[in-house]
Structure 1
Amino acid sequence: MKERLLSILRGGDALKTPPPAGRMLYGGSFNPVHLGHLALIRYVIEHDLARSVLLMPAGRSPFKGTGQYAPAEHRLKMLELAVQGLSDDLQARIAISDAELRRPGPSYTAETLQSLDDGIDTALLIGADSLESFDQWKEADWILGRVPLYVVYRAGIDDAQVQSWRRRLQGFFPVANVYLIPFEPPACSSTYLRQAIATGAGFEQLKACLPQSVFAYIKHVGLYREEA
């Protein structure tokens, strides 16, 4: 099964199997972290797409307003709690960095990759929705000239659309190596979870997408109570 799935990872214009990355960088606001995030992390590790996964919660995305974020220390703690709920084998291959949380201003992936210049072969894991606008990322040409993109499908975005975005990006940046991962995580949304929690949703309503430890932490510290 593993070999079959790997064989249909798509890169460039032909089917080819990418070598496992030494490290897969997976960034995001994790506001809050949910079971869709965890399912993707598990998939990457269990299918040997990378020897390790580095989780990088963003200080502030240049594409989002500051008002959408829970405080950095809470997003970091929720991520730690979620990872602690995984098996020991998975945890041994996962690291969490607060580098972007400590860096002032918007979080730019190029700056993060430059700070990780330690000789470890690194790939970048993004959602299909990010692929559409990747050419607008700061120093996109620098990123694509140095690390491959591993793109995971998202609910509501079909294969033809993702393929179109990949071709468009590679038209702008012919050196780009873009692999489409044949896996769609559970359709969980941080935006939905914040809104549901703000209206008083309990764990039974949210357990399909939210780890219980994360829900308990959110209730304990009172996060997302004023989400519009």
Structure 2
Amino acid sequence: MTTDDGTRPLAILGGTFDPVHAGHIHAARAARDALGTPSVTLMLAARPSHRSAEASVEHRWRMLELVAEADPTLLPSDVEISRPGPSYTVDTLDQAAGRGPLVWLIGRDALQDIDSWHRVERLASLCHLLVLDRPGAARARPPAPPGFRLVDDAGKLAQRPSGGLAWLADSMLDISASQVRQMIAGGQDVSTLLTDEVWSYIRTHGLYAPRTRH
């Protein structure tokens, strides 16, 4: 979907990507297609405000680069890496303002916790929300946060500058980064959950391996 002036929405999927896995890639591609935009930005949270990351920011950034090399429609962004302090969504959106309608991709669980976000009252004036949902998720959906209005089609979000919320059913796989890390630590095969390049990188650098106790 393009706006009247031909501007396409800028879709952003933020996360620690620790590691970036098939669920992230599937969600980004589903959002790209639903929005009719040529690409999705993968925004690396260098200093997540709510928890620490297991792999260094350098490793997580390189894994994002490997994914982007295999799929040029997925664009890694280092905006938050270069900014001091914790990674807050509102600061990232402020920095991206003026580049066209911004669409922040968010999961159902994160939507339910959005009231706790830093300066959440500003979000509706900065972006739209595209809520990614898993197959078989509960039919009852949480209400739109204050300031957001429900839009029945993701492709219509860019018709206004900000403040819209749309749902994208079946856009998430039942995979989490913590599950991937646990499987790697337990010696399980995760080759179907990661791209070949990312899995090779993890093995080469010994990421997420069990910690040796002394």
- TM-score, normalised to structure 1, is 0.77
> In structure 2, what is the Cα distance between the partners aligned to 1:99 and 1:130?
21
Change in Cα spacing, 1:152 to 1:227, as seen in structure 2 (3 Å) is: farther
Change in Cα spacing, 1:193 to 1:25, as seen in structure 2 (3 Å) is: same
Q: Secondary structure at the match of 1:47?
A: helix
Counterpart in the other structure of 2:204? 220
> In structure 2, what is the Cα distance between the partners aligned to 1:156 and 1:60?
32
Q: Which moved more, 1:21-30 or 1:42-51?
A: 42-51
Counterpart in the other structure of 2:195? 211
Counterpart in the other structure of 1:16? none
Q: Which aligned segments of 4 or more residues in structure 1 are displaced greater than 6 angstroms?
A: none
Counterpart in the other structure of 2:143? 166
Counterpart in the other structure of 1:69? 54
> In structure 1, what is the Cα distance between the partners aligned to 2:191 and 2:99?
40
Give the % identical residues: 31
Does 1:184 find its partner at 2:171?
Answer: yes
Q: Is the 8 A contact 2:133 2:170 kept in 1?
A: yes
Counterpart in the other structure of 2:70? 85
- TM-score, normalised to structure 2, is 0.81
What RMSD over aligned residues (CA atoms) do the two structures have, in Å? 2.4
Q: Name structure 1 gaps, 5 residues minimum.
A: 1-5, 7-19
Q: Is the 8 A contact 2:129 2:164 kept in 1?
A: yes
Change in Cα spacing, 1:182 to 1:226, as seen in structure 2 (3 Å) is: same
Q: Secondary structure at the match of 1:99?
A: coil
Change in Cα spacing, 1:158 to 1:115, as seen in structure 2 (3 Å) is: same
Change in Cα spacing, 1:23 to 1:195, as seen in structure 2 (3 Å) is: same
User: As a proportion of its length, which structure holds more helix?
Assistant: 1
> In structure 1, what is the Cα distance between the partners aligned to 2:95 and 2:128?
17
> In structure 2, what is the Cα distance between the partners aligned to 1:129 and 1:145?
22
| Matches for 1:29-68 after TM superposition, within 5 Å | 29-64=16-51, 66=52, 68=53
Instruction: State the number of aligned residues.
Output: 195
> In structure 1, what is the Cα distance between the partners aligned to 2:133 and 2:46?
24
